[in-house]
């Protein structure tokens, strides 16, 4: 049994969870559930990212304290994740005593190493707002490729990262004024001191090819020192032995992984130190979006190396979500919050659909609502769930809810079970779409068997009636295997099937257990087909709320 810590990127605590976020959390949740079904001690950790200027400004706009804002958003996030059947072992916040402790500890170790230096820099300052401008509150032309209306720290067009002082034609997004420059003393992490370590750390095992190539490019250009300071006013942790200087949110946010795990250990009387120590056998995996690879694959491992903490075994990046071929956009009506979706559609639909599109590549995936309906209605319900309902009907009605004491088609059972290793391997390698295709193909074989045997005809013939019990016992055992294969994707639907079939909780080590002479419950509908009107109603709600 392996011990594994898994994290998803921390959602920012100034807004709602949206469908784009859910690509990552569902991808991670499926991976974790597979590990747990394999018997591994897999602990899924996350937290709200609760610091930074946007939260401070949002709280001011709402006339509440930042603490009240992040408390409200935390509850909303927890409810959304829970309703999408995303099961964290610990969900916390970066605005915590634990995170303050570890942020100061890591900072002090880096400082003692000589990895923290002070520099006086010129920064953009909004004279109307009376504040220094964080990078994300400056927009202008990219200094590398010239693209218009880019953030002050990175370009969405060419992917370049840069200092906000380099951006051309800057504008403050707070007041729309042209910012002035003022000098301020900041502290920097000497990232360039870790180039040798990072070149060694970057490998096929730790990063996907596309991210590894990008890091090689950044490393070949030479790394710059990283500004870890933000000036007051700022919502975050004040840097020890300074006045009106705060840790940049990107310093304490990833440390939130460690803090959340410490909170988990304290609540569950678990040992913490052995899992995050430099030479720990515990495996650590991060799931993130491709847009934050720079922070996770350069700054984060360098900070961990410098402070003596465990580095990630691997970082798994994914692409973005588009809706009906369009970039997610409120103005285009293609930006859907998680709760808007849940007001109209079941979480299982999206879990299944995203799984049908996800692989281990860094590719954007598209939520096409026509394809969404087709895959759920035709494949999940029409092909897979229908096996259970059509076979249980005869067992319930004609055989007093009791399965046969024998299997009629052992060859088909063996063939279906023969895919187990491939199924588990695909989950491990994040090739969920391959699993959906394989499971759908197996369902086709099972439906063909039932169509060939025609139990609905044989049940009318006394000489063949008993064989119907055997055929449907085959079908329900095969159905249980398919539902077991889908369990990481559809956990609650799987639990409903386990209850109907009165079987043990399905794991990879017991999925080959056959149900013979078992009594089952009456089969009730476990999921209904999508009505396209539900999607139209969701779009209508989204349109009505677009200006809110």
Residue 366 burial (C-beta neighbours within 10 Å; 0-12, 13-18, 19+) = middle
- pLDDT digit string, tens, across residues 353-408: 999 999 999 999 999 999 999 999 999 999 999 999 999 999 999 999 999 999 99
User: pLDDT tens across 527-541, in order?
Assistant: 999 999 999 999 999
Residue 351 binned pLDDT confidence (cut-offs 50, 70, 90): very high
The answer to whether residues 83 and 76 touch, using CB atoms and an 8 Å cutoff, is no
- Give the closest residue to 406 by CA, choosing from 473, 454, 480, 459: 473
Residue 300 has pLDDT above 90, yes or no: yes
Pairing of the two strands 116-126 and 180-189? antiparallel
**How far, in Å, CA of 91 to CA of 152, rounded?**
31
Pairing of strands 180-189, 168-172: unpaired
**Residue 544 has what pLDDT?**
81
- The predicted structure's pLDDT at residue 134: 83
- Quick check: helix, strand or coil at residue 112? helix
Q: Could you read off the pLDDT of 61-81 as tens digits, one per residue? A: 999 999 999 999 999 999 999
Question: Does the pLDDT at position 5 exceed 80?
Answer: yes
Count CB atoms within 10 A of the CB of residue 464.
15
What are the beta bridge partners of residue 18?
337
CA dihedral 194, 199, 200, 201 (to 10 degrees): 80
Element (H, E) at 141: strand 138-141
Task: Give the model's pLDDT for residue 153.
Answer: 82
**Mean pLDDT for all residues in the chain:** 95
Confidence of residue 160 (pLDDT cuts 50, 70, 90): confident
Mutual angle of helices 386-398 and 491-501, in 10-degree steps: 20
Give the per-residue pLDDT at 135.
81
Whole-number pLDDT of residue 329 = 87
Domains by residue range for the chain, with CATH:
380-501 (1.10.730.10)
pLDDT, tens digit, 9 for 90 and up, residues 488-516: 999 999 999 999 999 999 999 999 999 99
Quick one: what percent of the chain has pLDDT higher than 90? 89
Q: Is the peptide bond before 261 cis (omega within 30 degrees of 0)?
A: no
The predicted model gives 107-128 an average pLDDT of 95
* Interval 277-285 mean pLDDT: 95
Q: How many CA within 13 A on the CB side of residue 474?
A: 23
Backbone angles phi, psi at 138, to 5 degrees: -120, 130
- Is it the case that residue 96 has pLDDT exceeding 60? yes
Helix (H) or strand (E) holding 323: strand 321-323
Buried b (16+ CB within 10 A) or exposed e, 523-548: beebbeebeeeebeebbebbeeeeee
CA 83 to chain CA centroid, Å, is 14
Banded model confidence at residue 159, pLDDT cuts 50, 70, 90: confident
pLDDT for 205 equals 83
Residue 193 predicted with pLDDT over 70: yes
Residue 187 CA to chain centroid, in angstroms? 32
Span of 125-139, 150-164, 419-433, 454-468 with lowest mean pLDDT: 150-164
Judged by phi (left if over 0) then psi (alpha if -120 to 50, else beta), residue 346 lies in beta
Taking the C-alpha atoms of residue 267 and residue 37, their distance in angstroms, rounded to an integer, is: 24
User: What is the mean predicted confidence (pLDDT) over 10-39?
Assistant: 98
What pairs with residue 289 in β-bridges?
Answer: 318
pLDDT at 185: 94
Phi-psi region of 39 (alpha: psi -120 to 50; beta: other; left: phi over 0): left
Mean pLDDT, range 469-473, rounded to an integer: 98
Residue 141: the pLDDT is: 94
**pLDDT higher than threshold 80 for residue 546:** no
| pLDDT exceeds 70 at position 418 | yes
Q: Which two tokens stand for residue 501?
A: 């079939």
Rounded Cα distance, 528 and 5, in Å: 35
219-274 confidence digits (pLDDT tens): 998 999 999 999 999 999 999 999 999 999 999 999 999 999 999 999 999 999 99
Please name every residue paired with 314 in a beta bridge, in sequence order, or none if there are none: 285
Strands 229-231 and 245-247: antiparallel
DSSP per-residue codes, 220-233: HH-PPPEE-EEESS
**In the predicted model, is pLDDT for residue 547 greater than 60?**
no
């Amino acid at each position: 049994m392996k011990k594994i810590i898994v994290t998803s990127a921390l959602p920012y605590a100034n807004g709602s969870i949206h469908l784009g976020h859910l690509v990552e959390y569902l991808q991670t949740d499926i991976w974790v559930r597979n590990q747990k079904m394999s018997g591994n001690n897999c602990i899924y950790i996350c937290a709200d990212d609760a610091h930074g200027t946007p939260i401070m400004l949002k709280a001011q706009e709402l006339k509440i304290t930042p603490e009240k804002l992040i408390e409200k958003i935390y509850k909303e996030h927890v409810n959304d994740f829970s309703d999408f059947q995303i099961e964290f072992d610990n969900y916390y916040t970066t605005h915590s005593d634990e995170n303050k402790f570890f942020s100061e500890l890591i900072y002090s170790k880096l400082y003692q190493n000589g990895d923290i230096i002070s520099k006086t820099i010129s920064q953009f300052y909004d004279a109307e707002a009376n504040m220094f401008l964080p990078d994300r509150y400056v927009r202008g032309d990219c200094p590398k490729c010239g693209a218009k209306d880019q953030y002050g720290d990175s370009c969405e067009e060419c992917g370049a990262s840069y200092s906000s002082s380099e951006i051309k034609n800057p504008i403050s997004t707070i007041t729309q004024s042209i910012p002035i420059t003022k000098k301020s003393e900041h502290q920097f992490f000497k990232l360039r001191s870790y180039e040798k370590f990072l070149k060694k750390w970057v490998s096929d095992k730790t990063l996907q090819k596309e991210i590894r190539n990008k890091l090689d490019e950044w490393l070949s250009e030479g790394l710059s020192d990283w500004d870890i300071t933000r000036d007051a006013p700022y919502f975050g942790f004040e840097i020890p032995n300074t006045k009106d200087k705060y840790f940049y949110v990107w310093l304490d946010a990833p440390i939130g992984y460690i803090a959340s795990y410490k909170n988990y250990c304290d609540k569950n009387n678990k040992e913490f130190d052995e899992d995050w120590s430099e030479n720990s056998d515990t495996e650590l995996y991060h799931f993130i979006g491709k847009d934050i690879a720079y922070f996770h694959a350069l700054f984060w491992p360098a900070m961990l190396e410098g402070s003596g903490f465990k580095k990630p075994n691997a970082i798994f990046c994914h692409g973005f979500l588009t809706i009906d071929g369009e970039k997610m956009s409120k103005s285009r009506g293609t930006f859907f919050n998680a709760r808007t979706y849940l007001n109209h559609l079941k979480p299982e639909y999206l879990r299944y659909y995203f799984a049908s599109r996800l692989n281990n590549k860094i590719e954007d995936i598209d939520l096409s609502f026509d394809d969404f309906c087709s895959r759920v209605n035709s494949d999940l319900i029409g092909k897979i769930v229908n096996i259970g309902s059509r076979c249980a009907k005869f067992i319930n009605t004609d055989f007093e809810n009791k399965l046969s004491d024998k299997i009629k088609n052992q060859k088909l059972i063996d063939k279906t079970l023969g895919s187990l290793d491939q199924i588990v391997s695909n989950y491990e390698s994040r090739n969920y779409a391959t699993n959906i295709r394989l499971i759908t193909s197996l369902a086709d074989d099972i439906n063909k068997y039932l169509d060939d045997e025609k139990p609905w005809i044989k049940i009318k013939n006394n000489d063949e009636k008993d064989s119907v019990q055997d055929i449907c016992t085959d079908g329900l055992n095969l159905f249980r295997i398919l539902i077991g294969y889908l369990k990481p994707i559809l956990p609650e639907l799987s639990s409903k099937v386990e209850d109907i079939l009165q079987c043990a909780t399905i794991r990879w080590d017991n999925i080959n257990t056959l149900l013979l002479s078992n009594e089952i419950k009456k089969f009730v509908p476990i999921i209904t087909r999508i009505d396209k009107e539900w999607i139209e109603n969701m779009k209508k709600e989204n349109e009505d709320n677009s200006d809110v």
